[in-house]
Structure 1
Amino acid sequence: MTIRDVARRAGVGVATVSRVLNGTGYVKAETRERVLAAAAELGYVPSQLARGLVRRLSGTVGLVVPDITNPFFPLITRGVEDAASEAGYTVFLCNTDNDPVLEAQDVRKLREHRVDGIIFVGTTERRELVDQLLADDIPVVVMDRQLEHADVDTVTVDNVAGAQAACRHLIELGHRRIAHAAGHQSTRTGQDRCQGYRMALEEADIPYDPACVTWGDFTFESGFRVGQVLLGLSPRPTAVFAGNDLIALGVIRAAEEAGLSVPDDLSVVGFDNIQMAALVRPGLTTVRQPAREMGRLAMTMLLERIRGEFSGPGRRHVYPPELIVRGTTRRREPLG
């Protein structure tokens, strides 16, 4: 008989059962009674020896990112390491290449190294992986993606609002044929930014054209391919909202190869505000999310869990986006 059996009988997560049996953290009275009843029915008695052992901290945490070549993720990593270093912690960095199999392997290695906690950045939504970690008393924080889990803290930016701000900017400049070079369709981030795009069009009474949305991934190469598709439409879009800055830069390259000038012939807006966005010419209009600050906060929240300073339900911190207007957008002159 294990804690998982009790969780299954009570219809709750293993972390909830652990909090009830250990008398730590917040649990609703009704849920507490259900867990205790399930434990009694199954005859489950937790090991007093295991409960009495003092947890040995390793002074290490894991940071799991999907693509370290994307300039956005090193900014987050810097913020995590800032807070970790101040607390005397070492960060083990794992790159999954957006591969769930590699992600599972990395988590297994981190557990073998007995890390005190793990931060997942923009990774796949695998509840079973998180549940296993929580069952082993390894706290988890998720960044750049919402995870509907009662025991996990999340740090994100409002992707819907950011996409709306980007598209409203284009609409205010007179654009009505606006395309969306989207990221991964399977990710919450990609879906939310597409939703914000569609909401901005609806607010302006601009009909939604499915042909103006092309999905890919969050890379420069994908932006180039998607840009070629979108610029081949008839009528051609006068503006493109890209799922991130790398996609936007790929779209700009596709426009250049098609003999189009940005922003004279095509306005482009990205998302993230990576360092390169301010260095290219013209500078990339984009939506800023405070990556380094987000990384620092995620590490701070994880440390609070590790040290037992906070043991309540999962916290949600959503940063407001900020539109940064540079040189890749301009007013659309009326025809004639």
Structure 2
Amino acid sequence: MWTIRDVAKRAGVSYTTVSHVLNNTRPVSDEKRERVLAAIAEMNYVPSAPARSLKAKTTSTIGLVVPNNTNPYFAEFARGIEGSLRRRGYCVFLCNSDNNLVTQRECLRALHQNRIDGVIVASVDDDESVADDLRAVRVPVVIVDRPIAGLDADLVQIDHEAGAMMATQHLLDLGHTRIGCIAGASDTAVSAIRVAGFRRAMAERGVQVLPGAIVEGNFTAPGGYAAACELFDSLAPTAIFASNDLMAMGALRAAAERGLRIPADCSIVGFDDVEMSRYVYPALSTVGQAILRLGDAAANTLLERINGTVTGPARTLMIEPRLIVRESSTRLRAPAGYKSNHIAP
């Protein structure tokens, strides 16, 4: 591997001259600059990133930690962040915590060792041990989805409760009252907030949440499938609010296996508006936001801290959700086959 001294030798200049050309730290004559650039091109020389970061006191790299990068929501979110930061000359190190607090801690430690300029985190947990882990990184931090106890950091999130209420109110407006709810993992704040939004919408309309109407689905398609099977076989809802699109897609599969027509026999609404929600059949009604723009907002918020254009107390950027009505929800009908087969008198 070529070094800066090899380039200097080829160009017939000192290695400090090569450094000044690479980093624009001092004026260099046009003749010497051309020789250096020609030598770099001939040798296909790539400057050492660690060496340059020590000199510039910046690495132009950002850490991104997500719970599960196979989840389409986090994949799209990461793409939004990466696209926004690349346009500004930054690279992104993506770490997958696998919904594990220990793995998340190891990711943060590795990012710190690589001298990142800042970090964006969708945390597995929200207790004070996470706050300690993030403070140890000693760079600006932006939190996504939920606040973390004891951490003074900017937060970017969608209004989870308002979105869940919006989805539930949509089903109520369509005449449904026998509504099931597929919750996320019981130990996550996001799941609890979305379930609270479901309950609040039902209560404000004076509609009872039936026993067994809320089933945990763990924010995964298999989890949503299992939860929907339980709802179809016990509650027989005419509508389901799933706390994310993956679980709603699992519910579509469970309905198909039972010969239920969506939305004629059961309306289904998800949450997040991931890209594939437009292409499942039937296309999924959902509540969400432009995920790429959410990633862009998180990136902008972090860069404002890194560049010092914003100082002072932590900020919360709350993204308002919107309802996207597609093919999987419709007005309550009288689905004779479903009623006679599944709804007890």
TM class, shorter-length? 0.7 to 0.9
> What residue number does 1:163 align with?
164
Shift of 1:148: 4.6
Shift of 1:275: 1.0
Task: Check whether the contact 1:285–1:328 (CA below 8 A) recurs between aligned residues.
Answer: yes
- When residues 233 and 273 of structure 1 are mapped into structure 2, their CA distance, relative to the original with a 3 A threshold, is same
Give a deviation string over 1:7-58, Cα, whole Å, max 9, x none. Answer: xxxxxxxxxxxxxxxxxxxxxxxxxxxxxxxxxxxxxxxxxxxxxx998211
> What residue number does 1:62 align with?
63
Q: Secondary structure at the match of 1:108?
A: helix
Task: Check whether the contact 2:112–2:137 (CA below 8 A) recurs between aligned residues.
Answer: no
- 2:242 is the counterpart of 1:238: no
Q: Secondary structure at the match of 1:114?
A: coil
> What residue number does 1:297 align with?
297
- The 5 A counterparts of 1:198-217 are 198-217=199-218
- 2:239 is the counterpart of 1:247: no
Give a deviation string over 1:239-294, Cα, whole Å, max 9, x none. Answer: 00001000001011001111211111110000011111111221100002221111
Query: Counterpart of 1:145 in structure 2: which amino acid?
Result: R
- When residues 103 and 122 of structure 1 are mapped into structure 2, their CA distance, relative to the original with a 3 A threshold, is closer
Work out the CA distance in 2 between the residues paired with 1:123 and 1:139. Answer: 19
Work out the CA distance in 2 between the residues paired with 1:273 and 1:144. Answer: 15
User: How many residue pairs were aligned?
Assistant: 283
Where does structure 2 lack aligned partners over 5 or more consecutive residues?
1-53, 337-345
Work out the CA distance in 1 between the residues paired with 2:335 and 2:282. Answer: 24
Shift of 1:302: 1.1
- 2:222 is the counterpart of 1:221: yes
Moved more, 205-214 or 266-275: 205-214
> What residue number does 1:93 align with?
94
- When residues 71 and 132 of structure 1 are mapped into structure 2, their CA distance, relative to the original with a 3 A threshold, is closer
Shift of 1:228: 0.6
- The 5 A counterparts of 1:180-329 are 180-234=181-235, 236-329=236-329
> What residue number does 1:124 align with?
125
Work out the CA distance in 1 between the residues paired with 2:137 and 2:227. Answer: 43
- When residues 289 and 177 of structure 1 are mapped into structure 2, their CA distance, relative to the original with a 3 A threshold, is same
Work out the CA distance in 2 between the residues paired with 1:90 and 1:64. Answer: 14
Work out the CA distance in 2 between the residues paired with 1:220 and 1:168. Answer: 24
RMSD of aligned residue pairs (Cα, Å): 1.9
Work out the CA distance in 1 between the residues paired with 2:239 and 2:308. Answer: 50
Task: Check whether the contact 1:60–1:115 (CA below 8 A) recurs between aligned residues.
Answer: yes
Work out the CA distance in 2 between the residues paired with 1:327 and 1:136. Answer: 46
State percent identity of aligned pairs. 40
Task: Check whether the contact 1:287–1:323 (CA below 8 A) recurs between aligned residues.
Answer: yes
> What residue number does 2:72 align with?
71
Q: Secondary structure at the match of 2:110?
A: helix
Work out the CA distance in 2 between the residues paired with 1:123 and 1:117. Answer: 19
- When residues 240 and 133 of structure 1 are mapped into structure 2, their CA distance, relative to the original with a 3 A threshold, is closer
Task: Check whether the contact 1:62–1:119 (CA below 8 A) recurs between aligned residues.
Answer: yes
Task: Check whether the contact 1:241–1:270 (CA below 8 A) recurs between aligned residues.
Answer: yes
Work out the CA distance in 2 between the residues paired with 1:298 and 1:185. Answer: 26
Work out the CA distance in 1 between the residues paired with 2:210 and 2:63. Answer: 42
- When residues 54 and 153 of structure 1 are mapped into structure 2, their CA distance, relative to the original with a 3 A threshold, is farther
Name the structure, 1 or 2, with higher relative contact order (CA <8 Å, separation 6+). 1
> What residue number does 1:114 align with?
115
Give a deviation string over 1:53-106, Cα, whole Å, max 9, x none. Answer: 998211111000111111111211112112211221110000111111111111
Work out the CA distance in 2 between the residues paired with 1:325 and 1:216. Answer: 23
> What residue number does 1:9 align with?
none
